[in-house]
Structure 1
Amino acid sequence: MLLASINLNKRLGATGARSNVAAWLRGHGVKIVLAQEPFKPAERTPPALAGFAFAGGDGHLAAWVSEDLASPTVSSPAPWVQRVELEWLVVLQVHLDAYGGASRAAQLAELAAMATAEMGRPLLICGDFNLAPRPADGLFGEESSACTTEAERTALHQLMRVACLVDTTADEVPVFTFERVFNGKPSRFRCDLALLSDHLTATTTVTADALVRSGPAAFTDHSALLIDLPLTLQEAEPEDVLFALSELTGDGPAAAPTGREYQPHKTAMNRQAPSPASRAVTEHLTGPLSIQSILDHGCGRGADVAHYRSAGLDAAGFDPHDHFGWPRPERTGFDLVTSMFVLNVLPDPWQRIQALKDAASFARPGGHVVVVTRSPEEITKAAADGGWSIHHDGFWSSQAKGTFQRGITPGEITALARQAGLQPAADAPVLPLPGVCHAVLTKPRKIFDDLPVA
């Protein structure tokens, strides 16, 4: 799903510029438009953008969505930031103060607080930051510009650190997104940024298009950021439909005609023997880590729980699907919590983070969490062989059944786990699990009970 972030410099109200914008969006297949300074604030009615529906905002920050898609939830926490909910992803569109470094530093601190309040939900923060992240990103003539202060850069780095964000366009040689001539010298800045949750960088492409500010079809003086996200958005309800299917069946939102009824429990195998992953845990992990108690989080029908008990461990199981008969345990403080082939059947990164938070809530401080997933290679081959359709960052393995699969690397497991308050375990051996991916994590020795689980 392609999102465009661009400072339009109040030009969308002009017919010629608006026509050029619409042609450019159509040519690239953009589905979401986030615009800074889209039109003059005095123009109280947002200009119509061909092929798009206005989703919210004003002359400072505004959003449009392709007319074939359902409108997202849009709010304005502050005049300089707009919050857009795109399925599992939260986008914060910003236009920071153009004139005051101290003001920008304060706004960045506010952004850090907003990001922290999202409690690990995947984030994209994009827009016109009006600063140079590094000295090389802002030049006046051939010298570094003095417009960006060290206080601003410190605040930006703090924002990226607390929210685990990556500056996606930070190439070694800066690609400037804004250029003007002041006092006979060129002023060049990489100020239009896209900060993205680190676990999304492998599946998201960000490019800066400078053609929108040069040539006959130009319509602004900033480069546009084209952000290709692993998102499948809901389609708009047809205007001639009087009743949603859910209203007729009484089954609630999940029964709406979107094909989005996820049923991950249908991927659970009916094992007669323990999984190779559970055998690797008892053969290579429980001894070195002095594990005595263990919870299999997402245990399915419970074959691995039986294996752990047969190995002399104090073992329990939990699966949110009631039919399997493993209700949520009342106890916590387990030495080890296992999550076997759970993350790869959850259809988006936010659900995976929530599952890891829940798993972590059962481990004792200093305890461990083992996560095992199917590999990208295995899933890619299965998708090709089975003709699976793309959905979000993975595939519908069966849209009729509502089952999803995504191969997840150890690095991605670790990045997701950090959002859940977990860290890589330095004291754990690598498990011999060919053909699948895994990570052994630890819960830091501090109180995590106040970390909410959605």
Structure 2
Amino acid sequence: MTPGHLLVAGLNLRKGLANATRRPRFLRWLIEVSPDILLIQETQSAQAANQAVIPGYRRIAGDLSLTSWARDGVAARPVGAARWYQTLEAHGRLIGNVHLSPSSGRERADQLSQLLEANKPGQELDLLAGDFNLAPRRQDGIFGDRLSTFTSGAERSAFRALLDGGGLVDVLAEGEQEFTFERQLRSQTSSFRCDLALLRQGIAERSVAAYDHSPRSSFSDHSAVLVSIPVGAGRVPARPEDDPATAVPAHTAMRRSTASPWAQWVATALAPKAAGGRVLDFGCGHGRDVRFYNESGFHAVGYDTDPMFAAALPPEGTFPVITMLFVLNTIASPKQRLAALRQATAHLDDDGVLLVATRSPQEVERQASTRSWDAVGDGYWSSRARRTFQRGIGTEELRHLGVCGGLTVSAQLPKRSWPVGASALLFRLRDAQRGRPTAGRRPAATGVLTTSMADTLF
């Protein structure tokens, strides 16, 4: 069966796969993330006598240093391999795993030029991820409180040429500044965003990408790169001039005379979990479920960003139970879906659960066909006049969103059939996310480092 999306994880493991202390921590992280494709740089020591294995995964390419893996059941094959670069094909997507030279800027610039030459018509990479050992922009490298001089202008020129000539997008360069590697050198902190995910234009808009900084507090000194990429061709909008960003999710809200079946299940099955009876309905719309919870003896709070619902005051504190019902499928951008999920997750207790439900792909496709909905973005206009958007989201894609947002599927996932036409998962925070670590962010630099290469050790 061909998946709708592939979850790819890239990570510099710092030779820890066979390390007696770090290996168990890595495997625990891997179980919670469970990527379809795993791209590892510095897998294990070159002096290792045997190649370490990863339970549930098979090695596609590489030996002791640069390795690419596929989860059991995921169709993948090697396409090309070198000491510092590998390509594999998985369900029609061409994926590259890279580890550029850690010691020579001239060699890195040359390797980037080689990557551009290899990215030929008919052989275009859909995703290139790994440890580039450079700061692609000046603000991506900081030494102390100054901009780093580690990365040369020639390297940045070669990197920009790869993006422009290869039709690639540095998708994790957007938003708040994050760093994927930190080290103390000469009593100063050296910080870099060197672990990158480059997505092909046209795929980037339909994908979700995120940094996971939790490995740095457990088994590596690098952050992981997480990318969920779609499998299959994109949909062509009926009217190309349409802008899905004009969608108004609030216009999809339904007025109900009774509580939803989801709220009724929460009040029964999750009541023991709701310490103090606290429940947050994130994206509550007209608030019928909130009233039901309060009528049932819970202390429920509703939140919805649209002021038309009079529930736009951000909730205070955290909650043991949060519901997010039929919100994500009305948001017309994958990045905005992830942002909304993260916003809800920010209010989740360390031991809490988050119930997310969406319309299923089968249901949305059925309605789009019978009602002649126009395609737009990665979904449909359910009403062009009201600017209402719908995308069917399956449990696989929903899990990927959760993983990118620091969640994992809860062991408490109920064993029952949800209403026809819906997808649902019960999430909890991943173990390493509890306590909300802040690794990966630090204040911006104030100027240019003028001393000689004080931070040459990467």
Q: 1:169 aligned to 151, 172, 175, which one? A: 172
Moved more, 162-171 or 42-51: 42-51
Mapped partners of 1:207, 1:19: distance in 2: 23
2:38 to 33, 37, 60: 33
Task: Specify which of 109, 114, 135 is matched with residue 113 of structure 2.
Answer: 109
CA distance in 1, matches of 2:374, 2:166: 24
Q: Give, as a single letter, the amino acid of the residue that structure 1 aligns with 2:60.
A: A
2:401 corresponds to which residue?
A: none
CA distance in structure 2 between the aligned counterparts of 1:94 and 1:39, rounded to whole angstroms: 16
Change (3 A) 1:203 1:133: same
How many residues align structurally? Answer: 265
Going from structure 1 to structure 2, the CA distance change for 1:386 and 1:29 (only over 3 Å counts) comes to closer
Q: Which residue of 2 aligns with 1:284?
A: none
In the TM superposition, 1:236-385 aligns within 5 A as: 347-349=232-234
CA shift digits 1:214-257 (9 cap, x unpaired): 1xxx11110001112223xxxxxxxxxxxxxxxxxxxxxxxxxx
Q: TM (normalized to structure 1)?
A: 0.52
| Superposed displacement of residue 68, structure 1 | 2.9
Q: Distance in 2 between matches of 1:109 and 1:23?
A: 37
Query: What's the TM-score once normalised by structure 2's chain length?
Result: 0.52
Q: 1:36 to 1:373 in 2, by over 3 A?
A: same
The 5 Å alignment of 1:28-427 reads 28-43=33-48, 45-70=50-75, 72-119=76-123, 121=124, 123-171=126-174, 173-214=176-217, 218-231=218-231, 347-349=232-234, 388-389=361-362, 407-409=375-377
Residues 211 and 223, structure 1, Cα contact 8 Å, conserved in 2: yes
Aligned CA distance change for structure 1 residues 434 and 115 (closer, same or farther; 3 Å): farther
Superposition deviation, residue 43 in structure 1: 2.8
Q: Report if aligned partners of 2:61, 2:86 keep a CA contact under 8 Å in 1.
A: no
For the pair shown, which has the larger CA radius of gyration, 1 or 2? 1
Secondary structure at the counterpart of residue 152 of structure 1:
helix
CA–CA distance in structure 2, aligned partners of residues 387 and 196 of structure 1: 26
Q: CA deviation at 1:397?
A: 6.3
The question of whether the paired residues in 2 share the 8 Å contact of 1:177 and 1:192 is answered with yes
Judged with a 3 Å threshold, the aligned counterparts in structure 2 of structure 1 residues 408 and 79 are, in CA distance, closer, same or farther, namely: farther
Cα pair 1:54 1:64 within 8 Å, conserved: yes
For structure 2, which runs of at least 5 residues remain unmatched after alignment?
1-5, 248-328, 331-356, 368-372, 379-383, 388-458
Displacement of 1:75 after TM fit?
Answer: 3.8
Which letter does structure 2 place at the counterpart of 1:97? S
**Conserved 8 A contact 2:42-2:65:** yes
Between the aligned partners of 2:240 and 2:175, the Cα distance in structure 1 is 34
- Map Cα deviations across residues 78-129 of structure 1 (whole Å, 9 max, x no partner): 311000112222111100000111100000000111112545x452111000
Kindly tell me: are residues 57 and 122 of structure 1, through their superposed partners in 2, closer, same or farther at Cα, counting changes over 3 Å?
closer
- Partners of 1:138 and 1:190 within 8 A in 2: yes
Q: Which amino acid aligns with 1:147?
A: F
The question of whether the paired residues in 1 share the 8 Å contact of 2:7 and 2:228 is answered with yes
CA contact (8 A) 1:57 1:76 kept: no
Which protein, 1 or 2, shows the higher relative CO under an 8 Å CA cutoff with sep ≥ 6? Answer: 2
Aligned to 1:306: none
Contact persistence 1:44–1:58 (CA under 8 A): no
Gaps of 5+ in 1: 232-346, 357-369, 399-404, 411-432, 437-454
**Kept after mapping to 2: 8 A contact 1:54/1:63:** yes
Q: Deviations over 1:138-166 (max 9, x none)?
A: 11111111110000000000000012211
Which secondary structure does the structure 2 equivalent of 1:42 belong to?
A: coil
Q: For 1:4, give the aligned amino acid.
A: A
What corresponds to 2:18 in structure 1?
13
